């Protein structure tokens, strides 16, 4: 028998069963490898502190794990065919290299809490990195908002010409919206930042585990105290992270849609340098915004992730279920996809060209009706009467706009409050400290 299964009972399970249940886990688990080692280092230090490992065994295992960490770093670590997952692979290597000491590492632990620890550490890092990418995009949007604060553009309601807006407002709007998304990211980060280690298979252990110690060693904010709650957090943590990812995606996807629309010749509000556009195989003149279309599509797909997770986990009774493994299939690609999209968004916006003469076109004249109503009202004409006068001028085809825009209140064209919005973002991100 040469099985590498941790649960080998002397018979080989059917090959098809194995392939079906392991699925893509070997590839996906590679992203957890470094966290698996980190969790194991904390676990063995704790086992030593409660007398379950001698000092010699601890030293041996620590070196063995550090060696594996180096191999992971160097890209030399692999999950062998026939080995189920990263947890099995790490234990297999330790046992192969260290003999009996390797066989002691799993005391008081189950792969169920092991994978939970890996996932929490992974999520904590990923969410932080996503937040940094969001911040970069936010800074870019704020910079563009300030740069184009004087450039007016039409504002629409019902997609009909409504009131004057500006590129300052438009860029700044997406920046401030990212602050709300950041709050979801920090909330998901706090939820992930709790130590499940010691919950073992989901019901704790008869060993006197020191869970406070592993919480400190792994730098978790808190313990997930109740072992059943800790196990139930599998899926819940992912769901919170997915909600945050979807929120960011909703913002970026909408921005991408705006650019696609505004780049259409019927709008002509923005354009891209040729090298950032794509062509057509039949129409020689085409310069298409494929990047923003792919961005829109990816962001729309990312918004389905919370639903996928909800459907996967809804009605699962308390305790571990193998279904939970499939959370990785959903979440892992989503984190990379979002980060790639955020970085691309930043790159593309840096090159976006803005048309600063949009409102010269007479078809935008009606944008100014409210400005003119308000001007009359400020001269003492009651608002409803001023509205009627301007409305009748429009109706008779006699309306001529004064084209003066004078907005001063907070958050308006003339008072973008860029600094205050930046401080709001900084307060949101202080949650990570
Ligand atoms: N690959 C498994 C998962 O992600 C690891 C835990 C397996 N535990 C078990 N009892 N089969 O869920």
Average pLDDT over residues 354-363: 95
For a ligand 1 pocket test, name from 325, 327, 329 the mutation site with the most ligand atoms within 8 angstroms of its C-beta: 325
Judge contact between 19 and 82, C-beta under 8 A. Answer: no
The Cα–Cα gap between 14 and 177 comes to 52
Lowest mean pLDDT among 2-11, 132-141, 165-174: 2-11
Judge contact between 309 and 327, C-beta under 8 A. Answer: yes
The answer to whether the CB of 200 is under 6 A from ligand 1 is no
pLDDT for 404: 87
The answer to whether the CB of 112 is under 6 A from ligand 1 is yes
Average pLDDT over residues 290-299: 97
pLDDT for 281: 86
pLDDT bracket for residue 70 (50, 70, 90):
very high
- Its sign, for the CA torsion 266, 267, 272, 278, is negative
Q: Which residue has the higher pLDDT, 11 or 208?
A: 208
pLDDT for 39: 98
pLDDT one-digit tens code per residue, 110-119: 999 999 999 9
With 90 as the cut, is the pLDDT of residue 279 above it?
no
Nearest CA to ligand 1 atom 4: 325
Strands of 108-171 (E only): list them: 152-157, 160-166
Nearest CA to ligand 1 atom 1: 325
With 90 as the cut, is the pLDDT of residue 329 above it?
yes
Percent of the chain with pLDDT over 90: 91
The Cα–Cα gap between 134 and 338 comes to 10
pLDDT for 3: 60
Domains of the chain: 15-107 (1.10.275.10), 112-146+196-358 (1.20.200.10), 362-395 (no CATH)
Judge contact between 165 and 368, C-beta under 8 A. Answer: no
With 90 as the cut, is the pLDDT of residue 369 above it?
yes
The Cα–Cα gap between 260 and 2 comes to 58
Ligand 1 atom closest to the Cα of residue 328 is 4
Listed in sequence order, the residues at least 6 apart from 383 whose beta carbon sits closer than 8 Å to its beta carbon are 373, 377
pLDDT bracket for residue 12 (50, 70, 90):
confident
Average pLDDT over residues 353-365: 95
Ligand 1 centre and the CA of 119: distance in Å?
Answer: 12
The Cα–Cα gap between 408 and 414 comes to 5
With 90 as the cut, is the pLDDT of residue 425 above it?
yes
The answer to whether the CB of 258 is under 6 A from ligand 1 is no
With 70 as the cut, is the pLDDT of residue 220 above it?
yes
The Cα–Cα gap between 97 and 91 comes to 10
Reading the block at residue 245, the tokens are 């990812």
Ligand 1 atom closest to the Cα of residue 87 is 5
Reading the block at residue 210, the tokens are 């020191």
Ligand 1 atom closest to the Cα of residue 22 is 1
With 70 as the cut, is the pLDDT of residue 142 above it?
yes
Ligand 1 centre and the CA of 309: distance in Å?
Answer: 17
The answer to whether the CB of 83 is under 6 A from ligand 1 is no
pLDDT for 1: 39
Percent of the chain with pLDDT over 70: 99
35: left (phi over 0), alpha (psi -120 to 50) or beta: alpha
Q: Say whether 288 sits in a helix, a strand or coil.
A: strand
CA torsion angle for 94, 96, 101, 103 (degrees, to 10)?
90
pLDDT bracket for residue 2 (50, 70, 90):
low
Listed in sequence order, the residues at least 6 apart from 226 whose beta carbon sits closer than 8 Å to its beta carbon are none
Name the residue with tokens 């999520």.
123
Lowest mean pLDDT among 18-22, 219-223, 234-238, 352-356: 18-22
With 50 as the cut, is the pLDDT of residue 347 above it?
yes
With 90 as the cut, is the pLDDT of residue 197 above it?
yes
With 50 as the cut, is the pLDDT of residue 60 above it?
yes
Number of other CB atoms surrounding residue 18 within 10 Å = 13
The bridge status of strand 160-166 relative to strand 152-157 is: antiparallel
Average pLDDT over residues 228-257: 98
The answer to whether the CB of 28 is under 6 A from ligand 1 is no
The Cα–Cα gap between 37 and 60 comes to 14
Euclidean distance between the first and the last CA atom of the chain, given in angstroms as a whole number:
51
The Cα–Cα gap between 244 and 185 comes to 5
Ligand 1 atom closest to the Cα of residue 84 is 1
| Residues forming a β-bridge with 161 | 156
The Cα–Cα gap between 275 and 142 comes to 25
pLDDT for 229: 98
The answer to whether the CB of 7 is under 6 A from ligand 1 is no
For a ligand 1 pocket test, name from 321, 322, 324, 331 the mutation site with the most ligand atoms within 8 angstroms of its C-beta: 322
The answer to whether the CB of 79 is under 6 A from ligand 1 is no
The answer to whether the CB of 85 is under 6 A from ligand 1 is yes
Give phi and psi for 278, each to the nearest 5: -125, 160
Upper half-sphere CA count for residue 133 (Cβ side, 13 Å): 24
Q: Could you list the active site residues? A: 158, 280
Average pLDDT, the chain: 95
pLDDT bracket for residue 146 (50, 70, 90):
very high
């Amino acid at each position: 028998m040469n099985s590498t299964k941790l649960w080998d009972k002397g018979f080989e399970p059917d090959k098809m069963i194995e392939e079906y249940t392991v699925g893509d886990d070997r590839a996906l688990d590679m992203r957890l490898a470094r966290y698996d080692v980190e969790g194991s280092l904390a676990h063995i230090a704790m086992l030593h502190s409660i007398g379950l490992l001698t000092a010699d065994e601890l030293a041996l295992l620590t070196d063995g794990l550090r060696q594996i960490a180096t191999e992971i770093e160097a890209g030399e670590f692999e999950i062998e065919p026939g080995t189920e997952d990263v947890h099995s692979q790490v234990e297999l290597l330790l046992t192969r290299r260290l003999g009996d000491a390797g066989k002691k590492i799993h005391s008081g632990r189950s792969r169920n809490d092991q994978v939970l620890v890996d996932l929490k550490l992974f999520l904590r890092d990923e969410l932080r990195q996503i937040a940094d990418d969001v911040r970069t995009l936010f800074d870019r949007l704020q910079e563009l908002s300030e740069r184009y604060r004087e450039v007016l553009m039409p504002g629409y309601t019902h997609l009909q010409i409504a009131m004057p807006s500006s590129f300052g407002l438009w860029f700044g709007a997406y920046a401030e919206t990212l602050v709300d998304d950041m709050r979801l990211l920090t909330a998901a980060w706090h939820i992930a930042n709790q130590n499940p280690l010691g919950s073992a298979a989901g019901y704790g252990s008869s060993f006197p585990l020191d869970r406070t110690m592993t919480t400190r060693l792994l730098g978790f904010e808190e313990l997930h105290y109740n072992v059943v709650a800790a196990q139930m957090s599998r899926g819940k943590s992912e769901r919170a992270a997915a909600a945050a990812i979807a929120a960011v995606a909703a913002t970026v996807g909408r921005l991408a849609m705006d650019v696609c629309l505004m780049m259409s010749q019927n709008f002509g509000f923005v354009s891209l340098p040729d090298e950032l556009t794509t062509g057509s195989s039949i129409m020689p003149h085409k310069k298409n915004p494929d990047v923003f279309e792919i961005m829109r599509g990816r962001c729309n797909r990312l918004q389905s992730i919370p639903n996928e997770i909800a459907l996967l986990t809804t009605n699962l009774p308390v305790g571990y279920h193998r279904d939970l493994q499939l959370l990785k299939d959903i979440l892992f690609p989503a984190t990379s996809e979002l980060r790639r999209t955020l970085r691309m968004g930043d790159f593309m916006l840096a090159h976006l060209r803005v048309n600063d003469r949009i409102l010269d076109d007479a078809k935008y004249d009606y944008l100014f009706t409210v400005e003119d109503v308000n001007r009359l009202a400020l001269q003492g004409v009651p608002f409803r009467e001023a509205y009627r006068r301007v409305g009748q001028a429009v109706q008779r085809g006699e309306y001529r706009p004064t084209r003066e825009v004078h907005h001063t209140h907070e958050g308006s064209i003339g008072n973008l409050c860029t600094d205050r919005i930046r401080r709001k973002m900084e307060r949101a991100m202080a949650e990570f400290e």
